[in-house]
Chains A and B, each alone.
Chain A
Amino acid sequence: MVPVEEVQVLHAHWSSDSITGYINPKFYIDTFSVDRVPCQDPGLKQESKQHSCMMLSSFRFVIGRSPTNSWILGLTQGCNMSTATEMTHDVVPYKLHRLEQGPDVQVKCTRDEAIKYYKQMRTIRVMETTASNLYKSKIIRGFCHLYSGQEAVAVGMEASITPDDSVITAYRAHGWTYMRGISVKGVLAELTGRSSGCALGKGGSMHMYSKNFYGGNGIVGAQVPLGAGIAFAHRYKGEDSVCVTLYGDGAANQGQLFEAFNMAKLWDLPAIFVCENNGFGMGTSAERAAASTAYYSRGDYVPGIWVDGMDVLAVKEATRFAKDYVLKNGPILLETATYRYHGHSMSDPGTSYRSRDEIQEVRQTRDPIGKFSELATSSGLLTKEEIKKMDDEIKKEVAAAAEAAKADPELPPEELYSYIYKNPPANIRVRGCDDTIWGATK
């Protein structure tokens, strides 16, 4: 067989005994009898040929010239085209607190959305795995809190808000930073402390920011009053935007949250408070720490919704509902039930307060990415081939970003003095900084 060209059938018609492939214009149009279509497979019976032709629309074709100059049509592996453009998904029922009506239980998702959500979740996962490896190679130092397992929360919420809406979260901020428009390199370089990091490498894991993203916050729970304040700013400026404020199940027991809830409700601020319940406040399980683990109901007079935080579409729909609600009625509380695969931080192996089996079970039965790809493939929105291809692309992209984040220069020492004062006095000196270095007074 002479060299074979791989071509894609742009369009195909089939009858009971032949298939016409409109192939890449570079080639030509030809008709192949069903017998010539790769039914050489002995397992495929004559009566199922028609069925196999039906399936051909979603395959890649191979065409080539045999020594006898006859054209051969073959197909390469896998489906490459989806068969559906939209699916409807029944989510795990929401639990409501002080709400007559909740978000829709049936959520629609288009093919484009599916690709987008899958890519976003997968990118966060691969980015966090890379961060973990860089940490274990001592390239990332200091604090590092990973988001693996919780991807559906950030991706689902971002899908229902706009860049004009604000987000403020806790110290587990990498995934959210990426969702708020910072590149993978921007996140990883921040972690490695390099100048192309989103905070110039000065912030690290807990202090990443971007437009309308008020960052990771190092102080547990402190972002919640700030979030109420940001919501107030939106109201004050007369904007139609909301502020999403995230905190964990550990922080949920703090007093300052209830102060923030009180003021938000008192003034009916457009605030969505989100308890990302990953089951553990550091090493203490929610059950051991909270008198009530129904976090969605703990705003008392603030209405709440429990949502499956491992289902990106459920989170998306709940957020859509919540945004709509808070603009009209004031604050709402979402509890997203999710799970964290890694320890609390890199110094926590994460297995002293829960069993490995528990983690593995969640990975196998509730993983937000695995579940979503299963859903998308079974409904025909995406094909396994497409998913594999996306996975490979993401892997390469993140690996390249990691290399860049390693190679990037650190900031010069003079930068220790910048961004402290708006108009720094000449020859500013900062306590604790090496006094052989003088501040940049630009």
Chain B
Amino acid sequence: MATAAQKICSRLSKSSVAFRFPSLLRSEVRNSKCHKYLQSRQISASPAVYGTIKLDMPSLSPTMEQGNIVKWHKKEGDTVSPGDVLCEIETDKAVISMDTEEEGILAKVIVPDNTKNVKVGTLIALMVEEGDDWKNVEIPAEAVKPAAAAGSAPSPATATSSTAQTAGGAAAHAGADLAGDGHLIGPSVKKLLQEYNIQASSVSPSGPGGALLKGDVLSYINTNKLDKKAQEAPSPAAPKLASTPPPPLAAPPVGPAAGENYVDIPLTNMRRVIAKRLTESKMTIPHAYATIDSNVGAIAELRETLKADGIKVSVNDFIIKASALALQRVPRINGIWENETLKLSPSVDISVAVATPSGLITPIVFGASYLSVDQIGNTVKELAGKAKEGKLQPHEYQGGSFSISNLGMFGISDFTAVINPPQVAIMAVGTSRSVASMSGNLSKMKVTLSYNSCAISEVEATRFLEEFRHLIEHPQTMLAGTNLDTAAEAFAF
């Protein structure tokens, strides 16, 4: 928390008389009661504990829970003044410079460049006051744990050393051979050497005590662009396993590195949010499932008729309309579960899952029960277009009282979907398939309702599916418009 005043203070004290009598102070007065007055920044030689400033991973946006350290602008030993940029941090939204109000010396960088997913509050660096011995700064025990347990991506430096140790350890324990210089050679190293026909002596070792590591051999292969000898047996997937060489420090893995035949695709924040939401839903909502099979032959016929009249509607549009009407008749399904209360939604707003390149998004068909089938079709077309261009406005995909996920249009026969809280149910629609029957081939479609069994009973789920099947099998009722009497009756239920 030092500022300009302290800077001046420290600058001046360098020229103070005390500083001109260092011999006297050191030899005669140290370790005395007056020691506290002697703790001048210029003459203290002991490792500084007093005045160590811990720098934690800051939260640089209101929603940030973890971030990536992109690059340090200060090196260990650099002097830091208030307002200086220490490093660049990538939040969930942007790359932001982290500056400091402290003054002193950057003593230790605990989390290095290019480290991903560092939790807010993790110790990332230590500073000491100017004049303190920054090289001997004491690293708090907590720093060791988070760095290792920060989990998903250990720092490259840590990765390097631990890989090296593991490999070295493996060489020492697992059935080993001796290299020319008397060092142990692990089986996987030996195998590599044989595969590429390399002399152990031509690779420079980097392991403990000069042991040859697999990483050494792999990098030797990379640098010399060696090819395998002709192989009799197909090579096992060994190079993909634990002791592949650490990725190069500087560049984050974006494409296949030479000699590696896999590509790392970093988790995007959208996928991370999806994962979080889905896990939360599965963990907190007791999911129950019910499946019903309905005959879609009538819809196919009706579509043909409408087509002849120039009206193009898809099966999906009928499914949305049928769900909307069924929801009107069984309104408990059309609700929001909040604070252990089921709140019935006044209108039927159906979230329709649309696949986009970055993931699933659910634009909403508002008031679906009052829209005609072709109106629904147009709305869905418009929303899906916007979704694919990434132009959906938040109000177009936030909210909704019920969801439909239709993978049937892609040929999936049947599946189950995860409830999208705070909604209480989602319907997974399968494809229509031919089923043989006494009266000839039938076209049938399975839908599976996933529902929150806190909010909805089996009876209600069943009633909803029955209503849905009835509507699907009698599509003319959908064209006839909303059956207000039935709706009113249902509300009384």
Asked if B398 lies at the interface with its beta carbon under 8 angstroms from chain A, I say: no
Stretch of B4-12, B219-227, B437-445, B464-472 contacting A (4+ beta carbons < 8 Å):
B4-12
Within the assembled complex, what's the spacing in Å between the Cα atoms of A78 and B13?
Answer: 7
Residue count of chain A within 8 Å CB distance of chain B = 61
Does B16 lie within 8 Å of A384, measured CB to CB?
yes
Question: Could you say which residues of chain A place their CB within 8 Å of the CB of B3?
Answer: 122, 125, 363, 367, 369-370
Closest to A74 in B: B24
Of the residues B16, B20, B38, B83, contact of A43 by C-beta under 8 Å: B20
Query: Does A129 contact B1, Cβ atoms closer than 8 Å?
Result: yes
Question: Could you tell me if B32 and A44 are in contact, using CB atoms closer than 8 angstroms?
Answer: no
Q: Are A360 and B9 in contact (CB under 8 A)?
A: no
Whether B308 sits at the interface, judged by CB under 8 Å, is no
Q: Mark A341-370, 1 if CB is under 8 A from B, else 0.
A: 100000101010000100110011001011
- Residues of A close to B196: CB separation below 8 A: none
Check A76 against B37 for contact (C-beta < 8 Å): yes
- B37 contacts across to A, CB distance below 8 A: 6, 60, 76-78
CA distance in complex: A60, B12 (Å): 17
> Which residues on A sit within 8 Å (CB–CB) of B243?
none
A388 contacts chain B at the CB level, 8 A cutoff: yes
Q: Which of B2, B16, B40, B102 contacts A79 (CB 8 A)?
A: B16
Say yes or no: B9 contacts A387, CB within 8 Å.
yes
In the complex, A262 Cα to B40 Cα: how many Å? Answer: 58
Q: Do residues B4 and A77 form an inter-chain contact, with CB atoms below 8 A?
A: no
Contacting residues of chain A (143-187) with chain B, CB-CB under 8 angstroms? 148
User: Bound state CA distance, A341 and B100, in angstroms?
Assistant: 11
| Count of chain B residues near A, Cβ 8 A | 48
Assuming the A-B contacts A136-B58, A137-B58, A363-B4, are A38 and B9 also in contact, with contact meaning beta carbons closer than 8 angstroms in the complex? no
Which B residues are CB-close (under 8 A) to A370? 3-5, 7-8
Q: Are B34 and A62 in contact (CB under 8 A)?
A: yes
Does B61 sit at the interface, judged by CB under 8 A?
yes
Q: Is A104 on the interface with B (CB-CB < 8 A)?
A: no
> Is B18 within 8 A of A76, CB to CB?
yes
Q: Are A367 and B4 in contact (CB under 8 A)?
A: yes
Q: Do residues A77 and B19 form an inter-chain contact, with CB atoms below 8 A?
A: yes
Does any Cβ of A come within 8 Å of B21's Cβ?
yes
Alpha-carbon distance A364/B7, docked complex (angstroms): 10
A64 with B16: CB separation less than 8 A: no
Judge whether A38 and B21 touch: CB under 8 Å: yes
Task: Please determine whether A137 and B56 come into contact, CB atoms closer than 8 angstroms.
Answer: yes
Docked complex: B32-63 residues within 8 A CB-CB of A: 32-34, 37-38, 40, 43, 56, 58-62
**B23 close to A (CB within 8 Å):** yes
Closest to A387 in B: B9
Nearest residue (CB) in B for A79 is: B16
Indicate whether B453 reaches chain A with its CB closer than 8 angstroms. Answer: no
A371: chain B residues within 8 A (beta carbon): 4
Kindly provide the distance from the CB of A155 to the nearest chain B CB, expressed in whole angstroms. Answer: 14
Contact of A138 with B59 in the complex, beta carbons under 8 Å: yes
Q: Are B28 and A72 in contact, CB atoms less than 8 angstroms apart?
A: yes
Any chain A CB within 8 A of the CB of B169?
no
**B29 is an interface residue with CB less than 8 A from chain A:** yes
Complex CA gap A228/B201 in Å reads 88
Cross-interface CB contact of B33 among A3, A59, A60, A122, cutoff 8 Å: A3
Measured between alpha carbons, how far is A129 from B102 in the docked complex, in Å?
Answer: 9
Using known A-B contacts A129-B101, A349-B97, determine if residue A377 contacts B12 with beta carbons closer than 8 Å: yes
Q: How far is the CB of B58 from chain A (nearest CB, A)?
A: 3
Contact across chains for B21 and A40 when beta carbons are under 8 A apart:
yes
Given known contacts A76-B25, A138-B120, A356-B83, A349 and B96 CB-to-CB distance under 8 angstroms: yes
Q: Which residues of A contact B20 (CB under 8 A)?
A: 41, 43-44
Q: Is B241 an interface residue, CB under 8 A from the partner?
A: no
Residues of chain B lying within 8 A (CB to CB) of residue A41: 20-21, 24
Are B28 and A74 touching (Cβ within 8 A)?
A: yes
Interface flags, B223-254, vs A, CB<8A=1, else 0? 00000000000000000000000000000000
- What B residues does A74 contact at CB under 8 A? 21, 24-25, 28-29
Q: Which residues of A contact B12 (CB under 8 A)?
A: 377, 384
Assembly CA distance A369 to B83 (angstroms): 15
A residues 1-16 with Cβ under 8 Å of B?
1, 3-6
When chains A and B are docked, how far (Å) is the Cα of A370 from the Cα of B2?
Answer: 11
Q: Per a CB cutoff under 8 Å, which of A62, A130, A351, A359 touches B1?
A: A130
Which residues 401-427 in A have Cβ within 8 Å of B in the complex? none
CB of A126 within 8 Å of the partner chain: yes
Question: What is the bound-complex CA distance between A136 and B2, given in angstroms?
Answer: 19
Q: How far is the CB of A49 from chain B (nearest CB, A)?
A: 13
Residues on the B chain within 8 Å of A132, using CB: 101
* Chain A contacts with B in 263-314, Cβ cutoff 8 A: none
Q: Does A75 contact B (CB under 8 A)?
A: yes
Within the complex, what minimum Cβ distance (angstroms) separates B360 from chain A?
A: 30
Q: Is A75 a contact partner of B56 (Cβ separation < 8 A)?
A: no
Q: Known: A77-B19, A351-B97, A356-B83. Is A373-B33 also a contact (CB below 8 A)?
A: no
* Chain A, range 328-352, C-beta contacts under 8 Å to B: 341, 347, 349, 351
Measured in the bound complex, the distance between the Cα atoms of B7 and A132 in whole Å is 21
Contact B83 A78 (CB under 8 A): no
A429 at interface (Cβ–Cβ under 8 A)?
no
* Bound-complex Cα distance A125 to B62 (A): 23
Chain B residues near A391: list those with CB within 8 A.
1-2, 5-6, 9
Inter-chain contact A6/B16, CB cutoff 8 Å: no
Question: Contacting B17 at CB < 8 Å: which of A75, A118, A137, A398?
Answer: A75
CA distance A258 to B83 in the complex (A): 37
> Does B83 lie within 8 Å of A363, measured CB to CB?
yes
Considering the complex, give the chain B residue whose CB is closest to the CB of A390: B5
B385 at the interface (CB under 8 A from A): no
Interface residues of chain B, those whose CB is within 8 Å of chain A, are 1-10, 12-13, 16-21, 23-25, 28-29, 32-34, 37-38, 40, 43, 56, 58-62, 81-85, 96-97, 99, 101-102, 120-121
| A positions within 8 Å CB-CB of B | 1, 3-6, 38, 40-41, 43-44, 52, 55, 59-60, 62, 64, 72, 74-79, 118, 122, 125-126, 129-130, 132-133, 135-138, 141, 148, 341, 347, 349, 351, 356, 359-360, 363-364, 367, 369-374, 377, 384-385, 387-388, 391, 395, 398
Q: Can you give 7 contacting A-B residue pairs, CB < 8 Å? A: A5-B32, A6-B37, A62-B28, A62-B29, A75-B21, A369-B5, A370-B7
Q: Which 7 A-B pairs have the closest CB atoms?
A: A77-B18, A370-B4, A6-B34, A136-B58, A373-B5, A129-B101, A4-B32
Given contact pairs A3-B32, A62-B32, A77-B16, a sample of 19 additional A-B residue pairs in the complex whose CB atoms are under 8 Å apart: A4-B34, A5-B33, A43-B20, A75-B21, A76-B25, A77-B25, A77-B40, A122-B3, A136-B60, A347-B62, A349-B60, A349-B96, A360-B81, A363-B83, A384-B12, A387-B6, A388-B9, A388-B10, A388-B13
